[in-house]
Structure 1
Amino acid sequence: MNRNRVVITGVGVVAPNGIGKENFWYALKTGRCGIKKISFFDASEFPVRIAGEVLDFYPEEFIEKKKARKMARFSQFAVACCKMALEDAGLSSDDLKNQYSGIVMGISSTDFKTMEEQCKTLYSKGLNRINPFSSFISVPNAPSGEIAGALDIPGFNLTVSTGCASGLDAVGNGYRLIRDGEAQCIMAGGSDCPTTPLMLATLCAADIMSKIEHPGKASRPFDKYRDGGVLSEGAAVIILEELESALARSANIYGEIIGYGQSIESKTEVMGTGLKRAIDRCLGNADICPDNVSYVSAHAPSDKILDLCETRVLKDVFGSCIYRKPVSSIKGHIGNPYSAAGVMQIISVVLGMEENVVVPTINYEFPDPECDLDYVPNYPRQNEINIALVNSHGFGGANSSLLIRRVE
């Protein structure tokens, strides 16, 4: 079977440490952290009072003011990222109407802010004061629907929800659709805004959040003193195109997706089995051996168990050669913005390919004897990236991996 080659031609990002490609990339290279003390609500009674908030986002810069007011924040982020990615790719919505295109968005949660506010209204003011549009703007598929409406795109529209792996799975599904000839161009990404009182409370109750009070030091992937992740928000979208179509219009090509693997890990399996299976499937899908991978963008959310588990899986998959490969996590910069994280990792990889730069794992100050790989601590490194592996893990056992190759 002839399969189409799939390339990345545009990127858009709204992150706690930078809005837009240039700002985000500069923040990653310089180690700028987007985690701050929570300002969206009074968190003084919470055991955790920090989060990755996007503070300088003005939706009217991307969306008509009247329409923006009727959108939930995660939809505003998604529409903004799509518009940035299309502009970066040199495409317009009219261009997409002339080819079979579509939208695939990963959403890990929902619009908790609206639902929490409406719940308070119901119990304090009664049923008649409920916003009749709240159920429509807060559903998980609202961002993809708002994108289609804002850009007037008549193609297909899909929403993927596999926890924090949702964004990477959205890209993986978009890759498959173009590879198999079912689409020519796809906007794929993830968007989540879970920084609300209820979401923070549930995560605090689960005792999986960092209790380090210094915001800029709290998320510390692979570090000996990591003690949990940091809740965050954001969105990221990339433009996927069939290679021949991209070449025909002389598009700038950031990189080529050459493999994708996904696996659920059952509760009866040894932890890490699902991630290893996803990586193995990804490598098999691309028909390359582990030795050919030159860099790993790790999921590593600064969790005591998950960071160690990913390290062990990488050793199992790559053997001794993993000690010669840079492995880094951007979660120290951005916290964990759920579905957006994996797509932000992809963007960090393809921008790194352009400049031959591997972004650092910031806040890696005290080596953990069990996490003993080359994590590119604290400073970017000049390093050619030819093939990169991107990993993502989601609550419920979802594991996903994607391979990206430099296109000369």
Structure 2
Amino acid sequence: MNSVVITGCGLITPLGNSIGEFERRMFAGDSGIRDIRGTLVADNFPVPFAGIIDDTGLPSAEALGLPSGRNSRGLRYAVLATRQAVHDFPEGLPLDGIIYGTPGGVFFELVVDTYRDIDTDRIQWNRSRAEYLLEVMAKDLAERGHGEIAPERLISINSACASGIHCIGMAFQFLKAGLWQRCIVGGIDAGAWESSLMNFHLLNALTTADVPAGEASRPFSPDRSGFVKSEAAATLLMETRKSAEQRGARILAEVCGFGLTSDAYRLTDGREDNLSVIRAMEQAIETAGIQKEDIDYISAHGTSTQLNDRLETMAIKKVFGDHAYKIPVSSLKSQTGHPTVASGAMETVACILMFQRQRLAPTINFRAGDPECDLDYVPHKSRPAEVKYILNNAFGFGGQNACIVLRKAD
């Protein structure tokens, strides 16, 4: 079996549109969340906050050779994040596939924009397919000298908020088994639109707290009241260690364990016994071939909802026992909000930066006092730490649970 490594990464996020800017702001404890009333939504819109990408300095859709319009934003961000990830990847070296987390369904705004013409012959139905995004990415990679990717190797995944880690885990399995040598993985969510925000609001999942925008996402705090919907694109270049070493690539991290389970319970709420979440974490650690005590840090799903943060903390205690109190845990979503299908990939990039700097990202806005959330959540400020193994968690609506174990590069 092959060992599997990450050799490239790129992202477009509310905390920055480059690895350097994202790194600086993440460790500084900045927030990328802002008030959207009166700008992106009406003054009386029930959802006041979102994590919005500032794309004023990014190339336009036209400059990238992409179709213009609101529905092209996700394409832009995914292409730009992917170009960052393959910046040092040699031309002429083929990629075996793309596995990418994509939003599900068709946004109401896309339907409205399309039907304004009324002329059904002009409706570009093709662009509403999730696979269309991957086809555009594959075309861009081919034009940049990375070869054609067969359509059957363009894999679009939507397992809700578990999608990013699910994609990394699937690639891990393909590469480990020797089916592929190198591939692109990641996720995109550029849907902080009125309809998407309203959908989550009607599920009582989003915070509407009367607080400053930068303090709205407060995972594990007793007064947490829901997550903040956000946007992000994150792309990783994954390959076998043999492939990476043969071309002299810089190895950023190793993916060494993967767990994937399903609650088979409800469309939104997690199981109260959390058995499937516990099993996903255990699977990831077992397949990594390490002991639970080897985990130095946990990148939490940490959405800032009452239910998720309580159940995730409970699951960590079940998996690690008393040792859970010795493991730092933090939630990047306190800074970025929750970009759903892109979150796991974005947080994996954050983990790589923590390996490189031997420093932990904080949980900003944390307030102690919830007796059921009593672990070390790295409150307020980043701090130095010796980090060799990281457990990265992602749990999605529908009871979809995905976890990976990452190892620091030698």
Q: TM-score, normalised by structure 2?
A: 0.92
Contact 2:61/2:72 (<8 A) preserved: no
Residues 59-103 of structure 1: per-residue CA shift (max 9 Å, x gap)? 52687354252762112111111100011xx1045322xxx5211
- Gap regions ≥5 residues in structure 2: none
Residues 251-307 of structure 1: per-residue CA shift (max 9 Å, x gap)? 111110000010010218544222111111112211222111111000010011100
- Quote the residue 1:258 is aligned against: 256
2:220 paired with 1:222: yes
1:319 deviates by 0.5
Identity %: 30
The whole-number CA distance in structure 1 between the counterparts of 2:120 and 2:33 is: 35
- Quote the residue 1:307 is aligned against: 309
2:74 paired with 1:74: yes
CA RMSD of aligned residues (A): 2.0
The whole-number CA distance in structure 2 between the counterparts of 1:212 and 1:378 is: 20
Check 1:231–1:241 CA distance in 2 against 1; reply closer, same or farther (3 A cut): same
Paired amino acid for 1:286 = A
Contact 2:272/2:311 (<8 A) preserved: no
Contact 1:33/1:333 (<8 A) preserved: yes
1:324 deviates by 0.7
The whole-number CA distance in structure 1 between the counterparts of 2:18 and 2:105 is: 23
Residues 132-176 of structure 1: per-residue CA shift (max 9 Å, x gap)? 22x222322222111101111422211111001111111111111
2:139 paired with 1:149: yes
Paired amino acid for 1:86 = V
The whole-number CA distance in structure 1 between the counterparts of 2:106 and 2:22 is: 24
- Quote the residue 2:109 is aligned against: 116
- Quote the residue 2:391 is aligned against: 389
Check 1:227–1:65 CA distance in 2 against 1; reply closer, same or farther (3 A cut): same
- Quote the residue 1:64 is aligned against: 63
- Quote the residue 2:85 is aligned against: 85
- Quote the residue 1:336 is aligned against: 338
Check 1:12–1:378 CA distance in 2 against 1; reply closer, same or farther (3 A cut): same
Contact 2:66/2:72 (<8 A) preserved: no
1:56 deviates by 2.7
Find the residue that maps to 2:8 and give its secondary structure: strand
1:58 deviates by 4.7
- Quote the residue 1:45 is aligned against: 44
Residue-pair matches, total: 396
1:116 deviates by 1.8
Q: TM-score, normalised by structure 1?
A: 0.92
The whole-number CA distance in structure 1 between the counterparts of 2:395 and 2:353 is: 22
- Gap regions ≥5 residues in structure 1: none
Paired amino acid for 2:130 = P
Matches within 5 A, 1:8-407: 8-38=6-36, 41-60=40-59, 64-69=63-68, 72-87=72-87, 90-96=88-94, 101-110=96-105, 112=107, 115-119=108-112, 122=115, 125=116, 127-128=118-119, 131-133=122-124, 135-152=125-142, 153-155=147-149, 156-213=153-210, 214-267=212-265, 269-407=271-409
The whole-number CA distance in structure 2 between the counterparts of 1:58 and 1:25 is: 18
The whole-number CA distance in structure 2 between the counterparts of 1:333 and 1:288 is: 31
